[in-house]
Structure 1
Amino acid sequence: MAGAPAAAAIPGAQAARAGARAWIVLAVLCFVYVLNFLDRQLLSILAKPIQDELGVSDSQLGLIGGLYFAMFYCILAIPVGWLADRTNRVRVLAFSCGLWSAATAACGMASSYPQLALARMTVGIGEAGGVPPSYAIISDYFPPGTRGTALGLFNLGPPIGAALGVAFGASVAAAYSWRMAFIWVGVVGVITAAGVWYFIREPRKGGLDAAPEPLSAGRAPVASPGFSETCRGFFANPVLRYMALACGATQFVTYAMLNFTVLMLMREKGMTLEEVAVWYALVFGLGSALGMFLSGRLIDRLARRSRTAYAYLPATGLVLAIPFFIAFVAAGRWELALVFLFLPTGLNYFYLSPAVTLVQEEVRPDQRVLSGALLLLVMNLIGLGFGPTYLGMASDFFRASHPHNSLQMAFYTLVPFYLLAIGLFLLLARSIRRQLAQETTP
């Protein structure tokens, strides 16, 4: 796998268009991803009423939204990915969706912090089988040259899920209670899981990639790579390694923001739950959706000219995001803060579609789920595991000296992580150039 070229299409595949079934499957998988992220983000959206009822600190919120969740979500994604590569990926996805949805409903029944933490860990266990199988299923429904766009559309799941979570969760919490929001979303997810199980067809693995070379006389077929071989190949490939690390540094910022932006807007900038349900939902939903979709379209175009676009596109997005991020944090009122938040919300997500597309085209078809899980392991363990955990602890640290704006002070400390992510994407560009040079050397 190390240094493998991007997947080539079978003859005519580059010009082929995906069929109607592929687009229906993509829409269903995107809805599952919406639920995946909606379930995950309800905790941060409803942080204020949860804190008021259960007496949870910022550090505790950071742990259950970050490290405790990520330990199960990231690590279990590896064996689940290995299993999905060798079995039915659709069934793995459906079972996982049912599990995390039931656990989400259980969050609404928690009466103490330990119970809430246990339910969130179970959500992490279920969500470990959500995204990697979906990446591979989409890659077998859409030919090379269209996957960036398809995966870009699929990656609209997080912004749509987060925006719906904000609008739905805040509205239900304001009208009823934060508990009902968790329970209702969980029930919808269980019903969706049953639909995926019965109505989505498992595609043939690698059916749209280059046909294997005909076997010469006496030459045995190439065996499917084992678990350890795929893992070694992934981390031995500097392109994949730097992409995973750069995404991890980016997600350190994005997940820290996702878990505490609503709390900062409400506690330190005067926003109400009703205002969150409308205005923050619009800003986050539109901004991140535009970023996801635009980056998917751009990477399909730019990568045809140079594969370094997989690195330069997300790096450019982060450079442009920094000044607007600082202005968002510094704003005194929530109205002005949301104006400045719109651009970094989109630019922060310029990394995801390029990362997923690069990994899916860099490896063999029977390594895609596990390779996608390895990508998620690195970037989510760093970003999801430590980003919210760090920011919550930083807020508690600043509480003594800045009791009225401790989260604002903590948010300022995310700027160096922006710079770290940019530096890692530049190292990725250098690795891609070296790989291209090796491929063209006779």
Structure 2
Amino acid sequence: MSTPAPFTAKRPAARNAWTALGVLLVVYLVNFMDRQVFAVLQEEFRVDLNLSDSQLALLGGTAFALFYATLGIPIAILADRTNRIRLIAAACVVWSVFTALSGLASNFVQMLLARIGVASGEAGGVSPSYSVLSDYFPPSKRAFAIGLFSIGAPLGLTAGSALGAFIADALNWRWAFILVGLPGVLLALVLLVLVKEPKRGMFDTDALRAQKANALGALKLVFATPSLRLFTAAAAVTSFAGYSLYQWAPSFLIRSQGMTLEEVGAGLSPLFALGLIGSVAGGWMADRVGPGRPEAYGVIPGVTLLLTVPFFLGGLMAQDGQTTLLFFAIPLLLSYAWIGPGLAATQTMTPPASRAAVAAIIGFFNNLIGIGLGPLAVGALSDALRPHYGEGEALRLALMAGSSAFALAAVLFVAAGYALKRDLKRRT
């Protein structure tokens, strides 16, 4: 007998599901913490290493994204065929060690190599985690579980901003990289001890479980399924705007608004933490409404992202840092609400044998466009505008242009939600 259809299954989570979710959440937190510490420290090492905005964007965006996105696909294919928990633990060790090595860089090339190492490790963390969680939680609880897992991102941004600024202020930026990076090695051991590899497809139909892992098939599935195409595009555009702001917001507050590094760390940290509310609430709302109206998995993200636009623009147009931070509070709360619904929908549309691969393919476009092009576009536009407007105003205008992409992302998410409704009808 086959299990109930997706979005309506009511089977309970496995015994250690919440333990797995908790530990994977902390691993994801460390992932983003190691990523954010680069952004909060970039004004410090920019001066020491004599780097331009375009070079900073290459280090924090394009070069990072190229390896992160490209390596994510073969690693995810491996995850669909092997023990995912061991793979995530190994990835955690790699990105943690290379984060620490970033503190030893003395020029652009050395920092570039360290960032490539961080990206290579982080490529093995997220997609396998989505696959693991989809085998611990049934479809009716999956958006909430993934939304809860995803609070690791805002918590990591919070911790990276606070710890990076605090350690750099107390010691220097080199020690900040080292002391933030190395604890991840111990966390990898905790993951191996506490989390078990779950059985694949325990909450899926017989037809879905019968489908075998196939890299080419996963790619075809993404391009042949309207909802997966639209969710992929929506996530990519969201990340284009989001990563631009996350990388350049600390620099904007220092250059344009006259804040110190310590003030930036203290001001941004609690705002990034607001994202955990949006992440959990978005997943919870989608699971409440989605079983009867699956389009909610796209409409909820679309509405919340559209609401972020006027607040981000208002914060960027403000003339002092405290007003900017006040304006940023609401959009930083709302901008994570898409993660649980959007990723849960794509996991549910995917056979269990290919979930990590499909997540990595979606992540490839998401990260290449989001991390790779977003910060680079803002950095390059800032460099181009600097001779006419000065350093501070140039970055302000560049960030305003980048944040406007949230409006396009909102439209794509709504379209994805209604495409999901049609795709589920065809599948049943």
TM range (shorter): over 0.9
DSSP-derived class of the 2:257 partner? coil
Give, in whole Å, the separation in 2 of the partners of 1:323 and 1:305.
Answer: 32
DSSP-derived class of the 1:209 partner? coil
8 Å contact from structure 1 (residues 311, 425) kept in 2: yes
The aligned counterpart of 1:16 is 12
Q: How does 1:30-429 map to 2 (within 5 A)?
A: 30-211=25-206, 222=210, 224-286=212-274, 288-403=275-390, 404-429=392-417
CA shift in 2, pair 1:436/1:17, >3 Å: closer
Q: Cα distance, 1:200 vs. partner?
A: 2.0
The aligned counterpart of 1:218 is none
Give, in whole Å, the separation in 2 of the partners of 1:400 and 1:289.
Answer: 39
For residues 90-122 of structure 1, the C-alpha deviation after alignment (integer angstroms, 9 at most, x for no partner) is 111011111111111110110111100110011
TM-score of the superposed pair, with normalisation by structure 1: 0.92
8 Å contact from structure 2 (residues 11, 203) kept in 1: no
CA shift in 2, pair 1:373/1:297, >3 Å: same
DSSP-derived class of the 2:80 partner? helix
Give, in whole Å, the separation in 2 of the partners of 1:382 and 1:366.
Answer: 26
Give, in whole Å, the separation in 2 of the partners of 1:185 and 1:391.
Answer: 27
For residues 355-378 of structure 1, the C-alpha deviation after alignment (integer angstroms, 9 at most, x for no partner) is 110111111111111111111111
For residues 316-339 of structure 1, the C-alpha deviation after alignment (integer angstroms, 9 at most, x for no partner) is 012211111111000111111100
Q: Cα distance, 1:159 vs. partner?
A: 0.2
8 Å contact from structure 2 (residues 211, 351) kept in 1: no
8 Å contact from structure 1 (residues 314, 350) kept in 2: yes
Counterpart AA for 1:368: R
Give, in whole Å, the separation in 1 of the partners of 2:211 and 2:342.
Answer: 27
DSSP-derived class of the 2:337 partner? coil
Give, in whole Å, the separation in 2 of the partners of 1:212 and 1:249.
Answer: 33
Q: What is the root-mean-square deviation of aligned Cα atoms in Å? A: 1.9
For residues 168-219 of structure 1, the C-alpha deviation after alignment (integer angstroms, 9 at most, x for no partner) is 1100000001111111122101111122234321111112333569xxxxxx
Counterpart AA for 1:7: P
Q: Cα distance, 1:222 vs. partner?
A: 4.3
For residues 103-143 of structure 1, the C-alpha deviation after alignment (integer angstroms, 9 at most, x for no partner) is 11110110111100110011111110000111111111122
CA shift in 2, pair 1:97/1:368, >3 Å: same
Structure 1: which 5+ runs fail to align? 214-220
8 Å contact from structure 1 (residues 103, 123) kept in 2: yes
Q: Cα distance, 1:8 vs. partner?
A: 6.3
TM-score of the superposed pair, with normalisation by structure 2: 0.95
Structure 2: which 5+ runs fail to align? none
Give, in whole Å, the separation in 2 of the partners of 1:71 and 1:426.
Answer: 28
8 Å contact from structure 1 (residues 78, 373) kept in 2: yes
Q: Cα distance, 1:18 vs. partner?
A: 4.9
Counterpart AA for 1:276: V
Counterpart AA for 1:193: A
8 Å contact from structure 1 (residues 321, 344) kept in 2: yes
Percent sequence identity over matched residues? 38
Q: Cα distance, 1:225 vs. partner?
A: 3.4
CA shift in 2, pair 1:141/1:223, >3 Å: closer
Give, in whole Å, the separation in 1 of the partners of 2:262 and 2:143.
Answer: 36
Counterpart AA for 2:323: L
Give, in whole Å, the separation in 2 of the partners of 1:424 and 1:316.
Answer: 11
Q: Cα distance, 1:418 vs. partner?
A: 2.2
The aligned counterpart of 1:7 is 6
Q: Cα distance, 1:350 vs. partner?
A: 2.0
CA shift in 2, pair 1:16/1:195, >3 Å: closer
8 Å contact from structure 1 (residues 37, 161) kept in 2: yes
Give, in whole Å, the separation in 2 of the partners of 1:416 and 1:145.
Answer: 33
Give, in whole Å, the separation in 1 of the partners of 2:5 and 2:363.
Answer: 20
Counterpart AA for 1:285: A
Q: Cα distance, 1:354 vs. partner?
A: 1.3
CA shift in 2, pair 1:204/1:437, >3 Å: closer
Shifted more, 223-232 versus 48-57: the winner is 223-232
Give, in whole Å, the separation in 1 of the partners of 2:270 and 2:403.
Answer: 25
Counterpart AA for 1:16: P
8 Å contact from structure 1 (residues 6, 363) kept in 2: no
For residues 386-410 of structure 1, the C-alpha deviation after alignment (integer angstroms, 9 at most, x for no partner) is 0001011111111011113211011
Counterpart AA for 1:394: L
Q: Cα distance, 1:85 vs. partner?
A: 0.4
8 Å contact from structure 2 (residues 240, 369) kept in 1: yes
DSSP-derived class of the 1:363 partner? coil
Shifted more, 188-197 versus 114-123: the winner is 188-197
Q: Cα distance, 1:223 vs. partner?
A: 5.6
8 Å contact from structure 2 (residues 252, 396) kept in 1: yes
Counterpart AA for 1:376: G
Number of residue pairs aligned between Structure 1 and Structure 2? 424
| Rg (Cα) greater in structure | 1
CA shift in 2, pair 1:426/1:22, >3 Å: closer
